Amino acid sequence: MLYLFNTNLPLKKKTPYALAAIHGIGLSSGKNICEKAAVDPETPLYRLSNREILAISNIIQKEYLINVDLQRKVRGDIRRLMAISCNRGLRHAKSLPLRGQRTHTNGKTQKKIARKRYS
């Protein structure tokens, strides 16, 4: 396993799929990173040289919010929405679904999740 940005990356997976294990990087971001670092996306992670791994890590550091920084930003955005009392902020405060889902039968699930998350 390769330990990069507080995440163990699987060595046998293709590079974009392995990069998707980092919180804040998905498959399309992984492919973009490979393209910018001039790395073949079909190459498994264990076949990359140290120079290629360093190039990938530099690109991630410069261009992407990952792990704790991303979580801090999302938490701050939610607090901002709650502070200005917009509809999404009020829905966050009441632990209800935000994006138009029905609440007659399914709001209970969101409330259970929110109870665990905010307590």
Q: Report the C-alpha gap between 109 and 35 in whole angstroms.
A: 40
- pLDDT-derived band of residue 118, with 50, 70 and 90 as boundaries? low
pLDDT in tens, 25-52: 999 999 999 999 999 999 999 999 999 9
* Structure tokens, 55: 């190039």
Same domain for 48 and 6? yes
CA angle (64, 68, 69) in 5-degree steps: 45
Same domain for 10 and 47? yes
Same domain for 18 and 57? yes
For helices 50-63 and 27-36, the axis angle rounded to 10 degrees is: 120
- pLDDT-derived band of residue 2, with 50, 70 and 90 as boundaries? confident
| Residue-averaged pLDDT of the chain | 89
Q: Report the C-alpha gap between 91 and 111 in whole angstroms.
A: 11
pLDDT in tens, 11-24: 999 999 999 999 99
Query: Which residues have a Cβ under 8 Å from the Cβ of 82 and sit 6 or more positions away?
Result: 89, 90, 92, 93
* Structure tokens, 33: 């990173």
Same domain for 79 and 60? no
Same domain for 52 and 106? no
Same domain for 79 and 52? no
pTM for the whole thing?
0.78
CATH number, position 18: 1.10.8.50
Percentage, residues of the chain above pLDDT 70? 92
Same domain for 72 and 46? no
Q: Which domain holds residue 95?
A: 68-118
CATH number, position 86: 4.10.910.10
**How many domains would you assign to the chain?**
2
